[in-house]
Amino acid sequence: MTLFPTSGFISLRAPSLARTAGWLAKSCLVVAVLAGLTFESVRPASATETAKDFVNTLAEKALAIAQADAPPEEQRAEFSKLLDSFFDMPGIAEFLAGRYWRTASEDDRKAYFEAFHASIVNTYTNRFGDYSGQQLNVTGSREDGRFVLVNSEIVAPGGQTQPVKVDWRLLPVDGSFKVVDVVIEGVSMSVTQRQEYTALIQSNGGKLAALTEALDQKNSRVK
């Protein structure tokens, strides 16, 4: 995602699970927000103002999806279509694989992308039930090179906990946007996941197929 975007992505190893559990727990509403992305609100305006409207709208749409009484398979299907439409999934997958993407065959790249895509769908839809009334408030936006960075915070009901800072990195594309990264409390989910992915590949002879196998195993446990 750079995922997603995504995107706290899927974790493969126990140490990393422990390290990222706090970020994932804090990002319950982020997960819900990702489920409700839409570009219908984008209108002619400055890039920063349009980006702020975009994030506000996606938060509203996300709540409706998170609270909908739908079977898990329907949620996964809808989220899968959302990823294909509104995220730079190919770019995210390539970024997370690092230098090992360049040395992989086309068949290995395709298998990895399919496993990665499924892992994102499964990881986020499995957390939809974590939403418990948090609100996402947009606090600002600015241009950041070729991106637009939208600042926001997740506020718990009744101010039960400190707000969680969440920055959305958006790539302007044909008058709209693509989400390329989500930064939670200063931690880039894309960079964090890239470190884990590339470490796993390196420890398995530099083979991208090793990461694909790990993702497939994780996906096979989803019900």
pLDDT, tens digit (0-9, with 9 covering 90-100), for 105-132? 999 999 999 999 999 988 888 887 777 8
**Residue showing tokens 């800072």:** 165
User: What is the spatial order of strands in the sheet that 187-188 belongs to?
Assistant: 135-144, 147-155, 164-173, 176-184, 187-188
Given this model, what pLDDT does residue 83 score? Answer: 77
Q: Give me the domains of the chain, ranges plus CATH numbers.
A: 14-220 (3.10.450.710)
> Is the per-residue pLDDT at 101 higher than 60?
yes
Tell me which amino acid residue 47 is.
A
Residues 6+ apart with CB under 8 A from 106: none
Q: Which structure tokens are listed for 14?
A: 């126990």
pTM of the full structure: 0.76
Q: What pLDDT digit, counting tens, does each position of 43-96 carry? A: 345 888 888 988 887 777 667 777 778 888 888 888 787 777 777 889 889 999
CA angle 45, 49, 50 (to 5 degrees): 60
Strand 176-184 to 187-188 pairing = antiparallel
